[in-house]
Amino acid sequence: MLKKLICVIPHSHSWLWTQTCVSSMKRNPPKADGYEVKVIVVDNSPWSPAIRGVTDTVLGDGIIVVPNHKSNKFHASALDCIVETLNFDLLMALETDVMFLRPDWLQWFVDQLKWNDYAVGAWHHEQFVNPSCTLYRASVLYDMLEWCRHGSLYKVSAPKDVLRWGPLFEKSQDITARQPERDYQGWYDDNISWIAGPFAEKRGWPQGTVLKEKPSGQDKGPGWYEPSQQLHHWAVEAGFTYTVCPSLTTKNNADMPIQTLYGATIADPGRQLEAIEMFGNAETVHLWGGTRALDIIKHDVTCNFVKSNTPAWLAREARFWKAVVSLDVQAQTLDLIREHGWHITGQGQDHVSERDREAAAFVRRCYAEGGVEW
């Protein structure tokens, strides 16, 4: 009897990246010996029409599209909603700015999973295996979900309703009293329903806990953890291992990561590959900054790092889309964008504001720099 493997792509208000991701997957379909493989796109943006780039084109054939049922809809909670609702053996966690470059890419990840591993993926600069393009063992995800909801498991205790941090997790803050994050107004109303999951969990540990691997965000403030960072440390404490797969992260002159190539055959860390030359030269690739580039569609961008890099990120997104997505889908998609735009409503509001319209116009200008116009 075949085991079940689910590839999960959390989608958020991106017309182009999601199509590039899915198109590259159509070119190199996910297959692994002994597994029935399903692909699920989780829609994080009910306020955006961009999911039509999948549902209203041939790219949606054979792909399951589901809404994120969590109140706080983002990458981590999209993965958690799949863990909460489906039964499977392995989960391949992805992002929309990931491309699949060889026919054996999924088998390559599966072959590296050791019997006691909770995950196979790349090592993140925040000192954990991150979920951008990572294979997880489902039994560990289910166990951590139970731990998040009910406390002790594998003799590892968890705090409840408190964000803890500091050298010995001695500092705490009532989670319900924390000011809502800018992007997720109202999240504190049912905070536990979205934070209590293997990928979104960020409450820290009971006071006095000393972990085998110190989290990079432990001293940075309450709730600092990156998506799945607490999963990594929880799994290590519970006695699981992990495999850091071969990868190459190329950087620009400012030491900013540009692309992480998994199983790369190109060894030059300074070389930035365009889309077509990536095919065959790695198993998969994660393009840094892809999802952050469209923050402007949701809200004003105040981070100088994101503001300064957004035009180049968006132009790159357009170039890659043009190079990878079929011409018929491109033409259909541009018609869909003309008809539906970028907003059904604003993010967190019941209308499309002038700010939203200006943001969409800015994205359009940046895409034009990458050769995509409508």
The pLDDT profile of the chain, 374 residues, written as one tens digit per residue, is 899 999 999 999 999 999 999 999 999 999 999 999 999 999 999 999 999 999 999 999 999 999 999 888 999 999 999 999 999 999 999 999 999 999 999 999 999 999 999 999 999 989 999 999 999 999 999 999 998 887 766 666 776 778 889 999 999 887 766 544 443 344 444 556 678 899 999 888 888 989 999 999 888 888 888 999 999 999 999 999 999 999 999 988 888 889 999 999 876 777 789 999 999 999 999 999 988 899 999 999 988 988 999 999 999 999 999 999 999 999 999 999 999 999 999 988 899 999 999 999 999 999 999 999 99
Indicate the burial class of 278 (C-beta count within 10 angstroms; 0-12, 13-18, 19 or more): buried
Res 206: pLDDT: 87
Q: Are 255 and 248 in contact (CB under 8 A)?
A: no
Measured from the Cβ of residue 318, the count of other Cβ atoms closer than 10 Å reads: 21
245-255 in b/e burial notation, b at 16+ Cβ within 10 A?
Answer: bebbbbeeeee
**Which residues, including other chains, have CB under 8 Å from residue 234's CB and lie 6 or more apart?**
144, 147, 156, 198, 201
Res 182: pLDDT: 40
**Which residues, including other chains, have CB under 8 Å from residue 259's CB and lie 6 or more apart?**
249, 250, 272, 273, 285, 286, 287, 288
- Spatial separation of the C-alpha atoms in residues 270 and 103, rounded to whole Å: 26
Hey, where are the domains in the chain? 3-112+246-369, 140-241
Residue with the two structure tokens 């200006």:
358
Res 155: pLDDT: 67
- Spatial separation of the C-alpha atoms in residues 70 and 365, rounded to whole Å: 33
HEC states along 262-299? ECCCCCCCCCCCCHHHHCCCCCEEEECCCCHHHHHHHC
Q: Which residue spans within 168-254 are E strands per DSSP?
A: 171-174, 241-244, 247-251
Q: What is the amino acid identity at position 172?
A: S
Per-residue tokens: 212 = 């085998």
Q: Are 256 and 310 in contact (CB under 8 A)?
A: no
Res 188: pLDDT: 42
Per-residue tokens: 195 = 């934070």
Q: Are 51 and 65 in contact (CB under 8 A)?
A: yes
Q: Indicate the fold that domain 3-112+246-369 takes in CATH.
A: Spore Coat Polysaccharide Biosynthesis Protein SpsA; Chain A (3.90.550)
DSSP secondary structure letter of residue 153 = B
Written as one string, the DSSP assignment of 56-119 is: TSGGGTT-EEEE--SSS-SHHHHHHHHHHH---SEEEE--TTEEE-STTHHHHHHHH--TTEEE
- How many residues in the chain? 374
DSSP secondary structure letter of residue 213 = S
Strands 257-262 and 247-251: antiparallel
